Amino acid sequence: MSRNRLADAASPYLQQHAGNPVEWHPWDAQSLALARERGRPILLSIGYSACHWCHVMAHESFEDPATAELMNRLFVNIKVDREERPDLDKIYQLAHQMLNNRAGGWPLTVFLTPDDHMPFFSGTYFPPEPRQGMPSFAQVLGAVDEAWRERRGVISQQNGQIAAALAAEETGGGEGGEPDPAAVDRAIARLADSFDVMDGGFGQAPKFPHGETLELLLRKADRGNARQMALHTLERMAAGGVRDHLGGGFYRYSVDREWMIPHFEKMLYDNGMLLACYCDALALDPEPAFEASARGIAGWLMREMQGADGGYASSLDADSDGREGAFYVWRRDEVEGLLSDGEREAFFSAHGLDETPNFEGAWHLNRLNDDGTADEALLASAREKLFHAREQRLRPGRDDKRLTAWNALAIRGMAKAARRFEQPAYADSARRALEFLRNHAWRDGRLFAVHMAGRSDLNAYLDDYVYLVDALWEMLQREWRNEDLAWAVELIEVVLKHFGDESGGFYFTSDDHEKLIQRPRPLMDDALPSGNGIAVRVLARFGYLLGESRYLQAAEGTLRGAWPAIAENPHAYCSLLDGMLDLVAPARVAMLRVPGEQTQAASSRWSTALGNETVLFTIANELQDSLPEALAAKAPGQGAICYLCRGSHCEAPVTTPDEPALDTP
């Protein structure tokens, strides 16, 4: 089998296409130069390893010799892993939306002019034959080639319009505005308009978790019906088939409104965010399903996603043995042969196997019967047997890329879980992943975005930096280490120096990044929280903690620059609103100073007294000499001494957790 230029790529997704008859190229200077030399349009195909429809299009079209011949003759074909190059994905997804007036997705298929890489036609999945109103991929290839040869002037005019629109998006196109905390209430009201009161979530099918939206609702559970929307959504997700009831973790999204049948890929970023959400939900409601969901995610992360090097892998495929969901679904006779009579009766009733098959003639497990009458011991025994039997099946492929941003989301979730459950194994897992990033993603004062096959590559993006700072904030609450604080400060300084926009906010790429047709400045949340939103959060939190006015000014400037967009559609900017609360209504922060041997016991005792809404840092007295000035001023006493601050205001220190000052909200 011949191999194309993807044969040397580290990305598992690109490697999947290395044996295609298509003459694939990676996105690099050599490939772009080849398109210019040949005067051919670039066929840019963007996908990722766990993407089901990416696999479908690959099998139908990219492995077909006739289609490949057409592609090779007419275009220079470039394949991109969207997880490695989210910069390219953001740009061309936005361009697709401009060209087609609708959202994109994966696989994304974009045709670019060879000289300036402007998109002039785009789509997502195309079938091998005309189907349901869609042209065949071969028809698309022919039509694009004809347009390129015969309507070059029209393409040039359209490209000018797209370029102007992309430039307007890059600059923000407004003069800014004054942040208004009332926008949180408007966002909650707008979310309520699309809330599914029956099944939770927002809108109809398909349904996605939207972790950052849930985090804001959980934080402002006292506003409107925020509490009900967040908790009901998390409860319905926990009961549905979007959760893996045997192995833990959540699939990427549900194809139906009831959260029953998912697309079966499991993504690291979703699970990192949902782990944090379920931990936060437990602070509001000690629902057993919330604890089971959180522990299930944490167990899955450690068992299936964490490598020997400490880093977390990116994703698990939806497909195995050539079929979507094959690893996860069951035939009735399989289950009957594994369980005792009592286990079978309890399990069939709880998970719907006594009803009609729900997935291609088989059963995908849901917790349909959750009325409190099920025998939980029998269910646990049945699940354990089925889990071990499932482990013998052909496993879905795992994308072993270590993505800095996604690892940071998982570290943050694991650190929260370690505190919530007082579970050292979770903390150890988070620490191992953090040290992996420190050792492999951090070099000469800058981050890399990807680590794969023993090498780190690609300039890190805004998300990599700010998500990691956010994770360090959680790690410092679990265990104070001065080196973690110092690293957070270094990361923030890189963001301010290399990503900042003079008009306020931050670009997605650094000032020394490859020059592309646009420098994205993302404000809106999508599958991941906006890097600008998380930047505001961490700048506000560390700004107050360290007494650093530059951080607070940068956070305020970001909000001012983004405010016209936020004011128009506040519910689309939950991470920015969440960050705004950290700036204008910061949480109470407690800095507990104790002798080193007392840190664990004192932290547990004071944490209980202070409650969930207070951020607690327990700092050993022995670290005094290496603390920054603002923290060193919170000096040790003879025993335990606690400094309580909200924003830039601090109260007189207290020495016992039952002193009246602790009751101050």
pLDDT digits (tens, 9 = 90+) for 366-395: 987 777 777 889 999 999 999 999 999 999
Same domain, 496 and 412: yes
Strand ranges across the sheet with 641-646: 614-620, 588-594, 641-646, 649-650
Asked if residue 176 belongs to a domain, the reply is no
Number of domains making up the chain: 4
Segment holding 614, helix H or strand E: strand 614-620
Q: Which amino acid is at 568?
A: E
CA dist., res. 194 & res. 225, Å (int): 13
Using the 8-state DSSP alphabet, how is residue 62 labeled?
I
In angstroms, the CA 393 to CA 443 distance is 40
Q: What angle do CA 319, 408, 246 make, to 5 degrees?
A: 40
| 10 and 44 co-located in one domain | yes
The angle subtended at Cα 238 by Cα 233 and Cα 242, nearest 5°, is 95
* % pLDDT > 70, the chain: 98
Q: Name the residue type at position 394.
A: L
Residue 348 in domain: yes
354: pLDDT strictly greater than 50: yes
* Cα 312 to Cα 365: distance, rounded to the nearest angstrom: 26
Dihedral, CA of residue 364, residue 365, residue 366 and residue 370, to nearest 10: 150
> For residues 353 and 367, is the Cβ–Cβ distance under 8 A?
no
Q: Which of 205, 208, 229, 209 is nearest to 217 (CA)?
A: 229
Domain shared by 188 and 67, yes or no: no
Q: Is the pLDDT of residue 426 over 90?
A: yes
Query: Average pLDDT for residues 601-612, to the nearest whole number?
Result: 90
Distance from C-alpha of 337 to C-alpha of 410, rounded to nearest angstrom: 37
Of 530, 561, 584, which marks where a domain is finished? 584
Q: How far apart are CA 12 and CA 452, in angstroms?
A: 9
For residue 458, being part of any structural domain is answered with yes
Strand partners, 615: 589
Shared domain for 595 and 480, answered yes or no, is no
Can you give the three-state secondary structure of 594-609, one letter per residue? ECHHHHHHHHHHHHHH
Burial label for 452, CB within 10 Å (0-12, 13-18, 19+), is buried
Mean pLDDT of 142-167: 95
Clarify whether residues 307 and 363 are in a common domain: no
Is the domain of 563 the same as that of 471?
Answer: yes
Contacts 24+ apart (CB under 8 A), 350-354: 350/374, 350/379, 351/245
Distance, in Å, from the CA atom of 351 to the CA atom of 129, rounded to the nearest integer, reads: 38
**CB burial of residue 549 (10 Å; 0-12, 13-18, 19+):** exposed
Q: How far apart are CA 611 and CA 615, in angstroms?
A: 9
pLDDT attached to residue 659? 66
Tens of pLDDT, residue by residue over 65-112, are 999 999 999 999 999 999 999 999 999 999 999 999 998 999 999 999
Whether residue 177 lies inside any domain: the answer is no
* pLDDT in the model for residue 638: 84
Radius of gyration of the chain (CA): 26
Sign of CA dihedral 56, 62, 66, 72: positive
Name the residue among 499, 402, 497 with its Cα closest to residue 450.
402
pLDDT category at 510 given cuts 50, 70, 90 is: very high
From CA 122, how far away is CA 57, in angstroms rounded?
15
Structure tokens at 253: 């999204």
Average pLDDT across the chain, whole number:
94
Residue 287 has pLDDT above 70, yes or no: yes
- pLDDT score recorded for residue 664: 52
Contact 653, 515 (CB under 8 A): no
CA distance 84 to 458: 8
Amino acid identity, residue 225? N
| Token reading at 49 | 């390893």
pLDDT at 625: 93
Listed residues 119, 136, 171: the one ending a domain: 171
Residue 506 domain flag: yes
Bridge-based pairing state of the strands 614-620 and 588-594: parallel
| Per-residue model confidence as pLDDT tens digits over 157-167 | 999 999 999 99
**In contact, 614 and 590? CB cutoff 8 Å:** yes
Same domain, 493 and 434: yes
| 565, amino acid identity | A
The CATH number of the domain holding residue 246 is 1.50.10.10
pLDDT given for residue 665 in this prediction? 45
Q: Which of 530, 548, 401 is nearest to 461 (CA)?
A: 530
Count Cβ atoms below 10 Å from residue 137 Cβ, excluding itself.
23
Which residues of 405-486 form beta strands (DSSP E)? 442-443, 446-452, 455-459
Domain shared by 76 and 57, yes or no: yes
Distance CA 181, CA 185 (A): 8
State the residue for tokens 């109103």.
Answer: 133
Rounded to whole angstroms, what are the CA distances from 570 to 190, 216, 559, 573? 8, 12, 12, 5
Residues 288 and 420 in one domain: yes
In a domain, 96, yes or no: yes
CB 76 within 8 A of CB 31: yes
DSSP classification of residue 565 = H
What is the value of pTM for the model shown?
0.96
The residue segments making up the domain with residue 333 are 328-392
| CATH code of the domain containing 161 | 3.40.30.10
* Same domain, yes or no: 312 and 421: yes
Report yes or no on 323 lying in a domain.
no
Give the Cα separation of 456 and 448 in Å (integer). 6
pLDDT at 502 over 90: no
pLDDT single digits (tens) 569-606? 999 999 999 999 999 999 999 999 999 899 999 999 99
- Assigned domain for 48 exists: yes
Last residue of a domain, one of 171, 204, 230: 171
Q: Which of 502, 513, 530 is nearest to 460 (CA)?
A: 513
Q: Hey, what are 387's tokens? A: 């889990």
125 touches 56 (CB < 8 A): yes
pLDDT at 639: 86
Cβ atoms within 10 Å, residue 153: 8
Whether residues 383 and 274 fall in one domain: no
3-class DSSP state for residue 222? coil
Q: How many CB atoms lie within 10 A of CB 138?
A: 18
Same domain assignment for residues 296 and 441: yes
* Per-residue pLDDT band at 172 (split at 50, 70, 90): low
Residue 13: C-alpha distances to residues 19, 80, 472, 523 (Å) = 12, 8, 30, 28
> pLDDT tens for residues 636-648?
988 899 999 999 9
Report the alpha-carbon distance of residue 434 to residue 407 in Å, rounded: 8
Q: What is the number of H-type helices and E-type strands within the chain?
A: 24, 20
Residue 349 exposed, middle or buried by CB count within 10 Å (0-12, 13-18, 19+): middle
Question: What are the backbone dihedrals phi and psi of residue 479, each rounded to the nearest 5 degrees, phi first?
Answer: -155, 120
Mean of the pLDDT values across residues 412-424? Answer: 97
